């Protein structure tokens, strides 16, 4: 293919855009790959779209190679499936919610676990159908608090998301490994320098989880790795050492009220009335602003649940009974959640609490003035009168300072060094969180139902354009790896004579015939302008057709190394193939 710059929809910029903080953003805008259309929303211009499509093609090939099958969901989704898993609420402000003309609630998909689980439930019924891996490459929407760095953190972005469905844990392990290996092939082919680190499971729930981080100082993630072993982890995932077991002096223990193990509406009402919350509940009541803790069967840990918080539906007794039964429930607090933005936070990760000079592990679902503190003996203390900012961080995450360079590696081998990276991929063993929510079962050989276990795996396809640019550029411009470059060869016609233009066209035609894609600078501009644009655009090989043509030679320049070679015109195709 030949793309002529004389007609290409491209305007390069000499100046850096004012809002660009990182090199990739600066260069992608200057080189005419993307333009900002909205906060966190970018228009892909012809060259940018090619890079995006090239990345997609690599991702698609490697996903197909592990037997994953591509499907495509809408981005505009009804609320109900996300309500069933509580993510309509849990996702918080990051979810784009909207209403249709009839007033029905919709969302723009931030990730599609619910839809994939429901689709598999709809199509498959026998154990013989499994395992299956499905994926899509699709636009996702997240109302990020801080969209930044161009396509690196958009509010509308392209993600490859895949989901595996297996009959048992061993199957899930296999699907997870298949993805891990496919991701390694993908990121290798894309020319990235990256690390695989242990990760928290974030809002998804679940157990085994790893992130792929492209090494970059400008990245938003901090990771640590051991100087001696293969240990590497996102700092968010590093488990802080168990705290000393000590009562927190001066912080009174709150009263905890327990319900019977299997609450009914009647026992719930009794229980609420006995809790002394200052009002009388009836079976017809709607619960608002109530914090309860729940321990479901086979669950070791208590879960904190906020019931009827603003933005959530109000929960009536019947619903509460249905959602809790047969869990063990304890009511903790009734408080005004609307007046206190810190009251309930999402499911983030382990937090740390500093109280009286002692560090405690805290349930991240912290409420203002109230926290669950897990002591070294694994018993829970419910403490009150905490102050946000002084005693715990508002979002409950451990700050980077919690693990420092030079700390001993948790596996006992070597010390930790820290660095920054960009999250380009994330793989999760979800387990049965979503298949439980939708009762996704396969009929086993003995006609008994088998609950399916699930994995979910993401790659930030549009983010990769930025991440690759972040690693592949110099002071003059972008320097694309061949696998993603918008063209293989950039021919600069340097001269005014018809003969040089004809020479450029001839070489372009010959290369194109041999399957090499060419960006041909046939504009009537000065060589200086053309050379500067060639460096900025970043195609891996630059061919200069100029004065030498009369002597039968052209110049071939490697964009990455700067190495120049004079090549006879007749040899140029052989030289480049």
Q: Which does 308 bind (CB under 5 to 8 A by kind): Mg ion, ligand ATP, none?
A: none
Q: Which does 554 bind (CB under 5 to 8 A by kind): ligand ATP, Mg ion, none?
A: none
Q: Which does 111 bind (CB under 5 to 8 A by kind): Mg ion, ligand ATP, none?
A: ligand ATP
Of 198, 205, 194, give the one whose Cα is nearest residue 237: 198
* Interacting residue with Mg ion among 426, 472, 490, 557 (CB under 5 A): 426
Q: Give CA separation, 74 vs 71, 84, 136, 155, in Å.
A: 10, 19, 10, 17
* Interacting residue with ligand ATP among 425, 477, 503, 540 (CB under 6 A): 425
DSSP H/E element including 62: helix 46-65
> How many residues comprise the chain?
577
Question: What spatial distance separates the first Cα and last Cα of the chain, rounded to whole Å?
Answer: 15
3-state secondary structure of 461: helix
Q: Which does 557 bind (CB under 5 to 8 A by kind): ligand ATP, Mg ion, none?
A: none
Nearest CB to Mg ion, comparing residues 221 and 333:
221
Cβ atoms of residues 507 and 491 within 8 Å:
yes
| Smallest separation, CB 233 to ligand ATP (Å) | 14
Nearest CB to Mg ion, comparing residues 145 and 550:
145
Neighbours of 424 (CB within 10 A): 27
CA distance 379 to 297: 18
CA distance 4 to 505: 10
Cβ atoms of residues 115 and 81 within 8 Å:
yes
Nearest CB to ligand ATP, comparing residues 290 and 398:
398
Give the single-character DSSP code of 17: P
Output Rg (C-alpha) for the chain, integer angstroms. Answer: 29
CA distance 211 to 201: 10
Q: Which does 425 bind (CB under 5 to 8 A by kind): ligand ATP, Mg ion, none?
A: ligand ATP
Task: Report if residue 345 touches ligand ATP, rule: CB under 6 A.
Answer: no
164 — phi, psi (to 5°)? -110, 145
Q: Which does 489 bind (CB under 5 to 8 A by kind): Mg ion, ligand ATP, none?
A: none
| Smallest separation, CB 199 to Mg ion (Å) | 7
| Smallest separation, CB 426 to Mg ion (Å) | 4
Q: Among all residues, whose Cβ is closest to ligand ATP? A: 460
| Smallest separation, CB 218 to ligand ATP (Å) | 13
Q: Which does 105 bind (CB under 5 to 8 A by kind): Mg ion, ligand ATP, none?
A: none
Nearest CB to Mg ion, comparing residues 52 and 459:
459
Packing angle of the helix pair 46-65, 169-189 (nearest 10 deg)? 140
Binding residues among 108-167 for ligand ATP as defined by CB under 6 A: 111, 142, 144, 153-154, 157, 159
User: What would the x/- binding string for Mg ion be over residues 15 to 54, using CB under 5 A?
Assistant: ----------------------------------------
Nearest CB to Mg ion, comparing residues 426 and 472:
426
CA distance 534 to 514: 22
| Smallest separation, CB 540 to ligand ATP (Å) | 25
Q: What is the DSSP string of 406-443?
A: TSBPTTSSSBEEEEEEEEEEEEEEEETHHHHHHT-EEE
Give the single-character DSSP code of 32: T
Q: Which does 87 bind (CB under 5 to 8 A by kind): Mg ion, ligand ATP, none?
A: none
Q: What is the DSSP string of 305-366?
A: EEES-TTSPPEEHHHHHHHHTTSEEEEEEE--TTT-TTS---S---EEEEETTEEEEE-SS-
Looking up tokens 């000079």 gives 357
Nearest CB to ligand ATP, comparing residues 36 and 246:
36
Q: Which residues contact 177 (CB under 8 A, 6 or more apart)?
A: none
Looking up tokens 């490459």 gives 137
Q: How far out from the chain centre does Cα 45 lie?
A: 24
Q: Which window, 81-89, 241-249, 397-405, 421-429, contacts ligand ATP (CB under 6 A)?
A: 421-429
| Smallest separation, CB 194 to ligand ATP (Å) | 11
| Smallest separation, CB 423 to ligand ATP (Å) | 4
Nearest CB to ligand ATP, comparing residues 124 and 194:
194
DSSP H/E element including 84: helix 80-84
Cis, bond preceding 293 (omega within 30 deg of 0)? no
Diameter over CA atoms, the chain: 99
Nearest CB to Mg ion, comparing residues 203 and 560:
203
User: What would the x/- binding string for ligand ATP be over residues 428 to 467, using CB under 6 A?
Assistant: ------------------------------x-x-xx----
Nearest CB to Mg ion, comparing residues 222 and 370:
222
Q: Which does 463 bind (CB under 5 to 8 A by kind): Mg ion, ligand ATP, none?
A: ligand ATP
Nearest CB to Mg ion, comparing residues 348 and 532:
348
140 — phi, psi (to 5°)? -115, 155
Q: How far out from the chain centre does Cα 90 lie?
A: 16
User: What would the x/- binding string for Mg ion be over residues 215 to 254, using CB under 5 A?
Assistant: ----------------------------------------
> How many residues line the site for ligand ATP (CB under 6 A)?
16
Q: Which does 364 bind (CB under 5 to 8 A by kind): Mg ion, ligand ATP, none?
A: none
CA distance 63 to 117: 19
Nearest CB to ligand ATP, comparing residues 56 and 423:
423
| Smallest separation, CB 24 to ligand ATP (Å) | 12
Q: Which does 153 bind (CB under 5 to 8 A by kind): ligand ATP, Mg ion, none?
A: ligand ATP
Cα dihedral 49, 51, 52, 58 in deg (nearest 10): 140
Binding residues among 18-47 for ligand ATP as defined by CB under 6 A: none
Nearest CB to ligand ATP, comparing residues 32 and 460:
460
Nearest CB to ligand ATP, comparing residues 243 and 425:
425
Sign of CA dihedral 161, 166, 172, 177: negative
List residues binding ligand ATP (CB under 6 A). 111, 142, 144, 153-154, 157, 159, 202, 423-426, 458, 460, 462-463
Binding site residues, Mg ion, CB under 5 A? 423, 426
């Amino acid at each position: 293919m030949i793309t002529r710059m004389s007609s290409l929809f491209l305007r390069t910029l000499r100046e850096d855009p004012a809002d660009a903080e990182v090199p990739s953003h600066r260069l992608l805008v200057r080189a005419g790959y993307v333009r900002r259309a909205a906060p966190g929303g970018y228009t892909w211009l012809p060259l940018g779209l090619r890079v995006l499509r090239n990345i997609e093609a690599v991702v698609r090939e490697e996903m197909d190679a592990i037997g994953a099958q591509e499907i495509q969901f809408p981005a505009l989704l009804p609320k109900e499936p996300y309500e069933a898993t509580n993510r309509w609420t849990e996702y918080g402000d990051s979810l784009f919610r909207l209403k249709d003309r009839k007033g029905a609630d919709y969302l723009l998909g931030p990730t599609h676990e619910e839809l994939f689980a429901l689709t598999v439930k709809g199509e498959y019924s026998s154990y013989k159908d499994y395992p299956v891996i499905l994926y899509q490459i699709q636009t996702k929407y997240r109302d990020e608090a801080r969209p930044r760095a161009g396509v690196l953190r958009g509010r509308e972005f392209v993600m490859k998301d895949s989901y595996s469905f297996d009959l048992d844990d061993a199957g899930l392990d296999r699907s997870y490994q298949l993805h891990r290996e496919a991701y390694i092939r993908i990121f290798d082919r894309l020319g990235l320098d990256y690390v695989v680190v242990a990760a928290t499971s974030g809002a998804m729930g679940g157990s085994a989880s790893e992130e792929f981080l492209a090494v970059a100082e400008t990245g938003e993630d901090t990771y640590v790795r051991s100087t001696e072993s293969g240990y590497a982890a996102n700092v968010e995932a590093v488990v802080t050492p168990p705290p000393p077991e000590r009562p927190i002096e001066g912080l009174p223990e709150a009263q905890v009220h327990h319900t019977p193990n299997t609450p009914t509406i009647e026992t719930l009402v009794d229980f609420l009335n006995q809790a002394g919350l200052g009002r009388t509940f009836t079976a017809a009541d709607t619960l608002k602003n109530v914090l309860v803790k729940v321990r479901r069967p086979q669950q070791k840990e208590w879960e904190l649940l906020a019931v009827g918080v603003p933005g959530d539906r109000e929960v009536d007794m019947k619903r509460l009974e249905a959602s809790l039964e047969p869990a063990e429930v304890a009511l903790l607090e009734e408080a005004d959640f609307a007046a206190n933005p810190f009251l309930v936070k999402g499911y983030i990760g382990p937090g740390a609490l500093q109280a009286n000079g002692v560090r405690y592990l805290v349930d991240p679902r912290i409420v203002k003035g109230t926290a669950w503190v897990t002591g070294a003996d694994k018993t829970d203390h419910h403490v009150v009168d905490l102050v946000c900012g002084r005693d715990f961080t508002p979002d409950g995450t451990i700050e980077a300072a919690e693990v420092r360079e030079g700390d001993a590696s948790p596996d006992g081998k070597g010390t930790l060094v820290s660095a920054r990276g960009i999250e380009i991929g994330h793989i999760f063993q979800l387990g049965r969180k979503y298949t439980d929510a939708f009762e996704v079962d396969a009929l086993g050989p003995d006609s008994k139902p088998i609950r399916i276990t699930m994995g979910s795996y993401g790659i930030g396809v549009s983010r990769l354009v930025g991440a690759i640019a972040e690693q592949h550029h110099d002071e003059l411009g972008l320097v694309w790896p061949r696998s993603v470059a918008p063209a293989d060869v950039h021919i600069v016609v340097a001269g005014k004579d018809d003969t040089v233009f004809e020479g450029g066209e001839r070489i372009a035609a010959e290369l194109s015939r041999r399957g090499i894609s060419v960006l041909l600078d046939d504009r009537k501009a000065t060589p200086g302008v053309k050379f500067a644009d060639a460096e900025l655009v970043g195609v891996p090989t630059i061919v200069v057709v100029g004065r030498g043509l009369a002597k039968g030679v052209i110049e071939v320049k490697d964009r990455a190394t700067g190495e120049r070679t004079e090549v006879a015109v007749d040899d140029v195709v052989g030289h480049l193939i």
